[in-house]
Amino acid sequence: MSNIGFIGLGIMGNAMARNLLKAGHTVVAYDIVPALLDRVVGYGAARGESCRDVAARTEIVITMLPDGPEVEQAVLGPAGALEGAVEGSILLDMSSISPIVAQKVGAACAAKGVAFLDAPVSGGEPKAVDATLAIMVGGEEAVFQKVLPILKIMGSSVTLTGAVGAGNVTKLANQIIVACNIAAVGEALVLATKAGLDPEVVFNAIKGGLAGSTVLNAKAPMVIARNFKPGFRIRLHQKDLRNALLAAESMKVALPLTSSVQQILMALITEGKGDLDHSAIVTFIEAMAGIEVKSPQKAAAN
């Protein structure tokens, strides 16, 4: 059993830390939001006083934070994890951030003799709870092998994709596919509803064909049920697409579909919908069509 630090206890970090505790590991946890820290301490984690304190008390530190600036602050800032980490320890950043930031943090860790991996995840809250996340890792093979048993506690698919930063490039590719897929699902269901069809019937008719996908199976029922409780928030997906576009610009790669969906997400954030699930992309399409996705019977009842 390992002594693991865990920094960042939001929707994803909460579930991931809990799975590590269930597996019998010792977890020293910290979050700047006291209520989030209290919740994980209630599961049996030890209370960390700061990022530095967590790193000083553990051999492996996991960070799960919203974006690059938060990772830089938690690791490189005053009272950050790197201040407390000792030579030979491992810092594992599971946040979804810019590959450029991941490489910057990795270089700072290397200068102190601390191993670093970037290992963003995909699957949202349901897969974090079930410990079936897809985990995409960037870093050295030897370090990856050391933490692989720990990663397998949190995910069902764990892949080393390349050097530091490669994990986040892979995650950005994942997020492009997911975002564009959700937008396509929204457009399809809006079209079906506008034509007078029952969107649930349409969903059941197409899910077994070539259009079938994990995204369709997960998000179409949420749209039809009008359930936009966040598994993955719009504002976080917008952040990921922004990072994808910035990375693409640096490499002179055009991403026209990504750009369009990123603008939809930004418009929804402006409308105050940033904390809804990303399946709420459909509401942007519904507003343009003047119709809400629902069965004809429910529409008639209203």
One domain, residues 124 and 239: no
**HSE-up of 211 (CA within 13 Å, CB side)?**
13
One domain, residues 221 and 152: no
CB 63 within 8 A of CB 92: yes
Using the 3D structure, point to which of 112, 146, 163 is the last residue of a domain. Answer: 163
User: What pLDDT score does 137 carry?
Assistant: 98
**How many whole angstroms separate alpha carbon 61 and alpha carbon 219?**
33
One domain, residues 11 and 149: yes
Q: How confident is the model at residue 124 (pLDDT cuts 50, 70, 90)?
A: confident
One domain, residues 194 and 109: no
Query: Residue for token digits 């697409």?
Result: 241
Nearby residues of 276 by Cβ (< 8 Å), 6 or more positions away: 228, 230, 233, 234, 268
Q: Which domain holds residue 128?
A: 3-163
What's the whole-number mean pLDDT along residues 51-61? 98
Please state, in angstroms and as integers, the Cα–Cα distance from residue 231 to each residue in 41, 134, 236, 250, following that order.
23, 15, 11, 30
- Active-site annotation holds for 171: yes
Kindly name the residue from 171, 219, 273, 294 that is annotated as catalytic.
171
One domain, residues 223 and 272: yes
What's the whole-number mean pLDDT along residues 137-155? 98
Using the 3D structure, point to which of 163, 184, 219 is the last residue of a domain. Answer: 163
Note the pLDDT tens digit of each residue in 198-224. 999 999 999 999 999 999 999 999 999
Residue 11's CATH number: 3.40.50.720
One domain, residues 159 and 18: yes
Using the 3D structure, point to which of 117, 143, 163 is the last residue of a domain. Answer: 163
Q: How confident is the model at residue 154 (pLDDT cuts 50, 70, 90)?
A: very high
User: What pLDDT score does 298 carry?
Assistant: 67
The answer to pTM > 0.85 is: yes
Q: How confident is the model at residue 297 (pLDDT cuts 50, 70, 90)?
A: confident
What DSSP designation does 277 have? B
**Is pLDDT above 70 for 171?**
yes
Both tokens assigned to 20: 């590590």
Note the pLDDT tens digit of each residue in 226-279. 999 988 899 999 999 999 999 999 999 999 999 999 999 999 999 999 999 999
Closest CA to 247 of 233, 259, 236, 235: 259
One domain, residues 9 and 69: yes
Both tokens assigned to 282: 């459909």
Q: How confident is the model at residue 300 (pLDDT cuts 50, 70, 90)?
A: low
One domain, residues 186 and 218: yes
Domain count, the chain: 2
User: What pLDDT score does 21 carry?
Assistant: 98
One domain, residues 43 and 192: no
One domain, residues 100 and 21: yes
One domain, residues 259 and 128: no
**Is pLDDT above 80 for 1?**
no
One domain, residues 93 and 199: no
Q: What is the SS3 assignment for 4? A: strand
Residue 282's CATH number: 1.10.1040.10
